[in-house]
Homo-oligomer: A and B are copies of this chain.
C-alpha cells in the first residue's frame, strides 16, 4: 500500500472567487505512483469551499452570484456581533456569511477515484476551490492551505 501526502497552498485575492486546481491535482497522481486508489482533497479553513463541476467562465460567475444571493453579506448574524464573543482578536472579520456559504453550499472535502494511474473525471468535471472570505479592504492576497492525500496501490 502506498500513501501520498502534500500540504498545498493557494493565494486568493477577491472576496468571492473560484480557482481551478485540476491540473495541479493530476500532477500529484503521477508523482504518487499510485495506480488505483482514492484521492482526498481537504481545505484547512472554515470559510472556503471545494467543488467538482464545470469551469466555464460564465458558469463560475453564476456560482458566485448565486452564492451571494443565497447568503447575504449581512443579515444580523449572531456570529458577527463581535462584542458578544469571547477571546476575539481586534481585527476579527465580519464573516458569518463566509461560514454559511462553506457549511451549507460547499463540501468539507472532495474524494475522487484514481484508476489505472488516472484521475477519473468526466469530460466537464474540474476541481474548484472557492474563497468566501477574501481580504478586506481587498488589497492583499490571502494564503489558503489544503491537503492532498492519495492512498492505494
Give the interface size class of chain A: 35 or more
CA distance A19 to B25 in the complex (A): 31
Q: How far is the CB of A139 from chain B (nearest CB, A)?
A: 23
Contact: B100 with A147, CB < 8 Å?
Answer: no
A147 and B113 in contact (CB under 8 A), knowing A44-B121, A56-B85, A100-B66?
yes
Chain A stretch 43-91: residues in CB contact (< 8 A) with chain B: 43-46, 51-54, 56, 58-59, 61-63, 65-67, 70, 77-79, 81, 84-85
Q: Is the interface of A mostly helix, strand, loop or mixed?
A: mixed
CA distance A121 to B43 in the complex (A): 9
Contact: A5 with B36, CB < 8 Å?
Answer: yes
Contact: A149 with B115, CB < 8 Å?
Answer: yes
Per-residue CB contact flags for chain A residues 103-118 toward chain B (1 = under 8 Å, else 0) read 1110111111101000
CA distance A98 to B77 in the complex (A): 22
Contact: A107 with B104, CB < 8 Å?
Answer: no
Contact of A42 among B44, B77, B113 (CB under 8 A): B113
